[in-house]
Amino acid sequence: MSVAWLFPGQGSQSVGMAGEWLRSSRCAREALDEAADVLGFDLAGLMDQGPEAELADTYNQQPALLAASVAILRAAYEQLPEPSFVAGHSLGEYSALVAAGSIGYPDALRLVRERGRLMREAGQRQPGRMAAILGLDDSAVEAVCAATPGVEVANYNAPGQVVISGTVAGVDAAVESLTALGAKRCVVLPITIAAHSALMAQAAEAFATVVDRVAPMDAAIPVVANLSGKPIRDAAEIRAELKGQLTGSVRWTDSVLALADAGVTDFYEIGSGRVLCGLVKRVLRERAGPAPRLHPMETPPA
């Protein structure tokens, strides 16, 4: 058995997330106490009681999702098999880097809080749009994005499931073209932040200086990187990954394939929800051999 730990990103939050772990585990509660000390507010209360709109604000959502993943990881640590790899989807990469020993938890909290602030300001300065495109080949979506000013592929989540991002006009025009091409569904996401696009360039430039101050260390466990879909461990590569992530595409399909090619059989999703388990199943469903074993950890095992 070869194991990968996976960590979810934005969109997986919900009021009450990690609640069962927090009620049953002192280690989990201590992770939230530590977050409150670092951030200066009651993050656990927001996670447990909301309001939902405040939790969904990227400025709060990013540290909340990181804290939920770290709380679950600490609570379940002795039950979890040792991983050969870790990976995180977008924001989840910070949780993966904490798990891999590259970034300390307090530094990661500060990083994602600042990341959220800069992304929120970018969305206020120039509102953008994101849309999920279902049922078309990646190449068809890429061609439409290349022909449409102001839009690009943000997330390659699974075959036939990608997310585009960019200006409101660009995404709307691309959605119209992709619908005409035969997309099964085009779902405009209820956000004004065009993550993983050129609209984040100013935020990325400011964030780069924050990353340099933190100085990630070499990872003790290989981290499959969003930007390349390949394992990295070197501190300089990790620093470049974090700097490029705000404007670069999340290559989750390639990441899952790389894990499978490396012999990973068991995927543990450590955090809120079970979206990543679903994506792993979708990416690998046509692959020969045994089906992957999926282990969502959003609640304690029965």
**Alpha-carbon distances of 137 from 134, 157, 159, 188, 287, rounded to whole Å:** 9, 12, 7, 18, 17
Give CA–CA dist 263/234, Å, rounded.
Answer: 22
Is beta strand 151-158 parallel, antiparallel or unpaired with respect to 161-167?
A: antiparallel
**Coil, helix or strand for 232?**
strand
Of the candidates 143, 115, 119, the one whose C-alpha atom is nearest the C-alpha of residue 130 is 119
In this structure, are residues 35 and 67 in contact, taking their beta carbons and an 8 Å threshold?
A: yes
65: CB partners within 8 A, 6+ apart: 8, 9, 10, 12, 13, 91, 92, 95, 271, 272
Q: How far is CA 22 from CA 5, 9, 72, 110, in A?
A: 20, 20, 8, 22
Beta bridge partners of 156: 162, 251
Catalytic site positions = 90, 196
